[in-house]
A and B are shown apart, each in its own frame.
Chain A
Amino acid sequence: MKKTKVCDLLGIEYPIIQGAMGLIAGAELAAAVSEAGGLGVISPNAGEPDWSKVGDNIRKQIKKAKSLTSKPFAVNFPIHMIKDDRSLIDIAVAEGIKVVTTGAGSPALHTPYFHEHGIKVLHLVATVKHAVGAEKAGVDIVIAEGYESGGINSPDELTTLVLIPQVVDAVKIPVVAAGGIGDGRGLAAALALGAQGVQMGTRFVATTECLAHPDYKKSIVEAGDTATVITGRGLMMFRGLLNELTRDLVKKERSGAPDEERSVKMFSKLSEAALLGGDVVKGQAACGEVAGLVREEISAGEVVRRMVADYDRIVKGL
């Protein structure tokens, strides 16, 4: 497939980025994606539910990924977790990381610091206004994520199909599409909308290298089109698998229950239970709508290779 501006900026072969799924985007997955020509991304708390230990974890994950690939990979920094503390960022700087993805907070906070250290910044947005703000803050690329995506979700509910062209029209920096992409068709569609690359989370969960629990991967592979649901509307919106936990939350929302009854207590424990513990019945199992298209667990490299091969065939047929 053709090279895009995202390939040139990041020094990668294909504009396919692996999303930084909290708890489960570890070194093995990131390295496999990067080795296949995409961009792997490490989550600070991969395999480490205790946030007070993420510093050591980031260092360990980066070193491990470096031992598996010499190609570029990124680290994700959720801004609402790190706030204005740069100690975690400094670990990535010391380890020679050249690309970061950021989200869930102001891009103005750390972007200049990253740039001082020669690090490219990809920032996650879900509206035109946020994309314009991120561009002003100096980020190199925006990742525009639609309503179909798994995990924490924007209250504005713009889908990938409508969000991408509007963001592309509003900013000059390259736009990466995220949400609802799981194969070569989604890649070609995203580029047709004007994106210069894609980011995928759910598809990369169901890979052999991902450290997600086998039962969680299995539930993604077995998911049908209607297997996910949004919970926490008006609080913290989240898309995950429809299960005992989320069914109950939806019921409460529909019957007009007060906010305190709908907020998820012990949110991180419930995520840990599903993603690392495999409790997909009572846990909070982040998952995008595209799970219905994910039909087998394969290696992350194979995901990238199939997408690229399909892309060329699809584009020829348009």
Chain B
Amino acid sequence: MKKTRVCGLLGIEYPIIQGGMTWIANAELAAAVSEAGGLGTISPNAGMRIEDNVEANLRDQIRRAKDITSKPFAMNIVVLIPEIAALVDVLIEEGVQVVTTAAGNPRLHTSRFKDAGIIVLHVVSSVRQAQVAEECGVDAVIAEGFEAGGHNGFDELTTMVLVPQIVDAVNIPVIAAGGIADVRGVAAAFALGAEGVQMGTRFIATIECNAHQDFKRRIVESPDTGTMITGRALSPTRGLKNEFSAEVARMDKKGTTADELLAHIGMGRSRMGQFEGLVEEGELYCGEISGMIRDIVPAGDIIKKIVEDYDRVVAGLR
């Protein structure tokens, strides 16, 4: 597989990034991805209880990942959360070299990361957001399409249409996310002009991921039509179809307000589903590509297989 600007920027061998999934992007998963030549990403709240201290958890996760790998890995920071300033301090103190930021204005924190010598990858879901991110000085944008799991853009642009339009609109490298799980998706992303890919759902169904076994099994068993968007008017989110999603969909249909929805579902439903394994009551963030995932494998094997198959797939196009 050819080297792209993303490889040079991040100091990695293959431009394959593991997404920073809330609760379940743990140190062992991130380290395994980085060891295999990609870029692993840790979520600050990986594996912790809701009442635990997120700063302490983050520090612990970083140190555990460093024990396993000497290669670079990233932290995922949701810019909107209240603890953001303290988390940034931890990253700087612990010498994390890369952050992926999402769900917030990149103007707020990018300069602080850049001053500390940290590389910033920002998640965007429209051309305008990508242009703003570039103006703010981020190093690369992660262009995430409608097919992606978890929180989703309001504009519903799919990876196929989003990536080339962003490639045309910015000069920094573009990383494609949403709907990618194998070599075909990687080759397609590169054909669209991306210089790397980020995969979330594929990396949940791995040995190293700390997601509950029952959640992993749901992903493996999911058909092509196994996911749906809920909260379209308030905060669109893609997850596996279950009792929870059916309940939220019923409220959506009635035109529920944000407060009513929050009061009804409460906090921590995604932890319940993904980490505790309450796969009907809980929320199961999951991308549409789950229909293509048929096994639980070591994270490194996913990268190895993509790299092995890439040249054959590309040769077949010529």
Contact = CB atoms under 8 A, between A and B. Distances in A.
Contact of A156 (B127, B190, B225, B256): B225
A192 B187 contact: yes
B192 A158 contact: no
A165 B182 CA distance: 9
Contacts of B147: 158-159, 161-162
Interface stretch (A53-61, A133-141, A178-186): A178-186
Given A192-B191, A193-B184, A256-B255, A159 B160 contact: yes
Contact of A159 (B128, B159, B191): B159
Interface string B166-196: 0010000000001110101101111111000
Contact of A148 (B128, B158, B289): B158
Most interface-central of B145, B188, B318 (chain A CB within 10 A):
B188
Contacts of A157: 146, 228-229, 288
Interface in B283-303: 287-289, 291-292
A186 B192 CA distance: 6
B126 interface: yes
Interface in B185-235: 185, 187-193, 223-225, 228-229, 232-233
B160 A161 contact: yes
A268 interface: no
Given A148-B158, A180-B158, A292-B165, A192 B291 contact: no
B158 A146 contact: yes
A163 B224 CA distance: 8
B191 A289 contact: no
A268 to B, nearest CB: 26
B313 A293 contact: no
A192 B224 contact: no
B161 A158 contact: no
A290 interface: yes
Contacts of A179: 158, 160
B318 A314 contact: no
Interface in A60-92: none
A165 B293 CA distance: 11
Contacts of A296: none
B192 A225 contact: no
B55 interface: no
A256 to B, nearest CB: 2
Contacts of B225: 127, 129, 156, 158
A293 B128 CA distance: 14
A161 B159 contact: yes
A265 interface: no
Given A166-B292, A256-B255, A314-B191, A161 B185 contact: yes
A161 B223 CA distance: 15
A39 B41 CA distance: 45
A226 B317 contact: no
Contacts of B188: 161, 188-190, 192-193
12 contacts: A147-B156, A157-B146, A159-B160, A160-B160, A161-B180, A179-B160, A189-B189, A192-B188, A193-B188, A225-B165, A288-B161, A318-B2
Interface of B: 2, 126-128, 145-147, 155-162, 164-165, 168, 178-180, 182, 184-185, 187-193, 223-225, 228-229, 232-233, 252-256, 287-289, 291-292, 313-314, 317-318
Q: Which 4 A-B pairs have the closest CB atoms?
A: A256-B255, A188-B191, A180-B160, A161-B179
Interface of A: 2, 127-129, 146-148, 156-163, 165-166, 169, 179-183, 185-186, 188-194, 224-226, 230, 234, 254-257, 288-290, 292-293, 314-316, 318
Given A161-B180, A186-B192, A290-B161, 20 more contacts: A146-B158, A147-B156, A157-B146, A158-B147, A158-B225, A159-B178, A159-B179, A160-B158, A162-B289, A165-B182, A166-B291, A180-B158, A180-B161, A185-B191, A192-B313, A193-B188, A256-B254, A257-B255, A292-B165, A293-B164
